[in-house]
Amino acid sequence: MKTLNCPKGHGAMKPMTVKKEMNFKGVDLEIEADALVCPECGLEAGTLQTAGALQLALADSYRAKKDLLTGYEIKELRKSRNLTQRQLADTMNIGIASIKRWETGTVQSASMDHALRMHLQSRIQADNYSGNREISLPRIKLVAKYMEDLIGKRLLKKGDKFLYLAKYLWYADFLSFKTIGRSLTGASYAALTFGPQLNNYKDLIDPIKTSNEDDSEPLSDDELRILEKVAHKFPQERMVYEAAHREKIWAEAKIGDLIPYSCAHELNEI
Ligand SMILES: [Zn+2]
């Protein structure tokens, strides 16, 4: 750290944390800042913090006083939900720049604060990637078996990486969310290079294959109709594969990102 001598001839000034009173957006705030201080006469030689850190300290002090989420809280909540800034921005239908600014010291509006809390503190966030349902492996197996019966092909083959099954599941889950407000299986889907796929599919394939479909809640009449619609639309595996690749909600997603269920109304092929 650089040293500085007191201009009044008292020798070296010492780095200290000082309390500063500052006015921010019309509110008087007390923040802590690192500064060089003369132990003899108390003269302060400005803060050592970067302008950015000072801005964040001010904004967070202001937000704490106004009952708004602080930048630190936004960041920690977001991480606790396992979300990137991009994923949070996408589910809120806002730009990633807003998330970056809020986390680094721009104060969000009250309505955006409300939206942030909705997405970070409630289950809405999780629901947007699981379609209002806890993931159920037996149910994925049940849906897969029913789909196999409908199209007359085996989708749960030995060594299969769910290349086709994942597309059938994706359409069925998203169509279900769109029509009855809830997915069929609770699965999350990632946009991969070869189409939408079960998120973490490598870890799920074997547990799905070995799960018992009889452990699943049975399919309702509405749910059966959704599966029949998907099978009727895509009687061949190639068809569901190619249709999925024409969907802009997959094509426009970044590779590896989760596809939110809130995009279900943008499906074009079904
Ligand atoms: Zn001095």
Measured between alpha carbons, how far is 75 from 144 in angstroms, rounded to an integer? 38
pLDDT over 70, % of the chain: 96
pLDDT over 90, % of the chain: 63
Report every protein residue that has its C-beta within 5 angstroms of ion ligand 1.
6, 8, 10, 38, 40-41, 43
82: CA distance to ligand 1 center in Å? 50
20: CA distance to ligand 1 center in Å? 19
Q: What pLDDT does 159 receive?
A: 85
Q: What pLDDT does 17 receive?
A: 86
Q: What pLDDT does 16 receive?
A: 87
* Buried/exposed 72-105: b ≥16 CB within 10 Å, e otherwise: ebbbebbeebebbbebbbbbbeeeeebbeebbeb
17: CA distance to ligand 1 center in Å? 17
The structural domains of the chain, with segments of one domain joined by +, span 14-49, 71-128, 130-266
11: CA distance to ligand 1 center in Å? 7
Q: What pLDDT does 100 receive?
A: 97
Q: What pLDDT does 48 receive?
A: 63
Q: What pLDDT does 201 receive?
A: 93
37: CA distance to ligand 1 center in Å? 8
CA distances from 184 to 112, 113, 126, 139, 193 (A): 31, 32, 15, 8, 24
Mean pLDDT of 87-115: 92
pLDDT in tens, 52-71: 788 888 899 999 999 999 99
Measured between alpha carbons, how far is 120 from 88 in angstroms, rounded to an integer? 9
Mean pLDDT of 190-213: 94
| E strand spans, 117-231 | 189-192, 195-198
Q: pLDDT-derived band of residue 49, with 50, 70 and 90 as boundaries?
A: low
**The pLDDT of residue 142 is above 70:** yes
Q: pLDDT-derived band of residue 204, with 50, 70 and 90 as boundaries?
A: very high
Measured between alpha carbons, how far is 54 from 182 in angstroms, rounded to an integer? 45
Mean pLDDT of 195-215: 93
Mean pLDDT of 164-181: 95
Residue 23's DSSP bridge partners are: 28
- Span of 109-113, 127-131, 162-166 with lowest mean pLDDT: 127-131
Mean pLDDT of 101-113: 94
4: CA distance to ligand 1 center in Å? 11
For residue 207, what are its two tokens?
A: 């547990």
Q: What pLDDT does 264 receive?
A: 94
Domain 71-128 annotated CATH 1.10.1060: no
Mean pLDDT of 150-157: 94
- Span of 13-27, 187-201, 239-253 with lowest mean pLDDT: 13-27
61: CA distance to ligand 1 center in Å? 30
**The pLDDT of residue 132 is above 90:** no
Measured between alpha carbons, how far is 30 from 120 in angstroms, rounded to an integer? 28
Chain mean pLDDT for the chain: 90
pTM score, whole prediction: 0.57
63: CA distance to ligand 1 center in Å? 35
